[in-house]
């Protein structure tokens, strides 16, 4: 009996060690694949937006990497992107990280302006000396999908009165005034723009933001695990995170179209 029990315990230890080894190998493999993800994204950006340099002409390479040239290129491309959006006769958003402002514009006219209270972005987006990054950031992005804590289009259902005597004016309060306002705009080219309300005075606001971020991380983790399982590098999404006053964040989210355009000046 003791021999049988000892064999069972021995088998259990071996099984446990094998599982731990497999898990450790997978964690290492997952970590390596995750570290390769930003590198692959940068290569994709350079391939699509990088300047074509003549390797036989060293002067061309010097011009492309010159800081004054890159600054001029960034400003020129940004103005061109604004012109393209202005011609669309649609509402669009300008995020200017240099002067910390966000503008809602129509046909080149600013109709709403808000001050950015704080922001941060992915490291690869802060590469000021890279022609490809400057070109990409200075071209309008298109919104593909959005995740938000508030509704895009508030809907109110009401019963029509039988006659004028039964008519009562709407006195329904706007609950979104107190609702936490946080949202993620998934853009083309794999870029994500996170907008958080500046105010986190209430405990429920902080909990809401933590829950919102956790859901986003879980989506990314699940997507990465599916790709790693079939030996593919996970997708990396460069991000820009900004904080705005709650009212401004809500107005901007509801004003821009579902597939609207956004220009970013870094």
Each residue of 73-93: pLDDT tens digit?
778 878 888 888 988 888 999
| Residue matched to tokens 């490809």 | 132
Cα(123)–Cα(131) distance, rounded to whole angstroms? 15
Write down the pLDDT at residue 156: 52
Output the six-digit token pair for 107. 């046909």
**pLDDT of 39 above 50:** yes
Q: Where are the domains of the chain?
A: 2-265
Render pLDDT for 102-151 as a digit per residue (tens, 0 to 9): 999 998 899 999 999 999 999 888 765 567 887 787 779 999 999 999 99
Through-space distance between the first and last CA atoms of the chain, rounded to whole angstroms: 73
Mean pLDDT of 214-231: 92
Q: pLDDT averaged over the chain?
A: 82
In eight-state DSSP terms, residue 180 is -
The architecture CATH gives domain 2-265: Beta Barrel (2.40)
Write down the pLDDT at residue 69: 73
Contact 165, 234 (CB under 8 A): no
H helix or E strand, kind and range, residue 241:
strand 239-244
Mean pLDDT of 16-42: 86
pTM reported for the whole predicted model:
0.81
Q: Within a 10 A sphere around the Cβ of 220, how many other Cβ atoms?
A: 15
Write down the pLDDT at residue 174: 53
């Amino acid at each position: 009996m003791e021999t049988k029990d000892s064999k069972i315990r021995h088998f259990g230890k071996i099984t446990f060690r094998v599982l731990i080894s497999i898990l450790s190998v997978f964690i290492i493999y997952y970590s390596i694949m995750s570290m390769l993800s930003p590198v692959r994204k940068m290569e994709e950006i350079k391939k699509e937006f990088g300047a074509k340099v003549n390797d036989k002409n060293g002067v061309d390479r010097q011009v492309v990497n010159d800081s004054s040239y890159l600054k001029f290129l960034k400003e020129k491309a940004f103005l061109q992107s604004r012109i393209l959006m202005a011609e669309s006769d649609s509402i669009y958003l300008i995020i200017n990280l240099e002067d910390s402002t966000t503008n809602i514009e129509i046909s080149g006219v600013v109709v709403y302006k808000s001050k950015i209270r704080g922001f941060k972005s992915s490291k690869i987006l802060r590469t000021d000396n890279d022609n490809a990054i400057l070109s990409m950031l200075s071209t309008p992005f298109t919104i593909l999908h959005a995740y938000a804590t508030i509704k895009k289009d508030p809907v109110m259902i009401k019963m029509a009165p039988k006659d004028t005597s039964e008519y009562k004016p709407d006195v329904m309060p706007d609950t979104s005034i107190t609702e936490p306002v946080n949202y993620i705009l998934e853009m083309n080219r794999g870029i994500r723009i996170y907008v958080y309300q500046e105010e986190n005075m209430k405990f429920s606001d902080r909990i809401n933001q933590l829950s919102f971020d956790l859901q986003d991380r879980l989506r990314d983790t699940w997507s990465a695990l599916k790709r790693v399982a079939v030996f593919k590098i996970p997708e990396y999404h460069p991000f820009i995170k900004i904080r705005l006053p709650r009212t401004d964040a809500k107005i901007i989210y509801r004003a821009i179209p579902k597939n609207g355009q956004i220009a970013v000046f870094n």
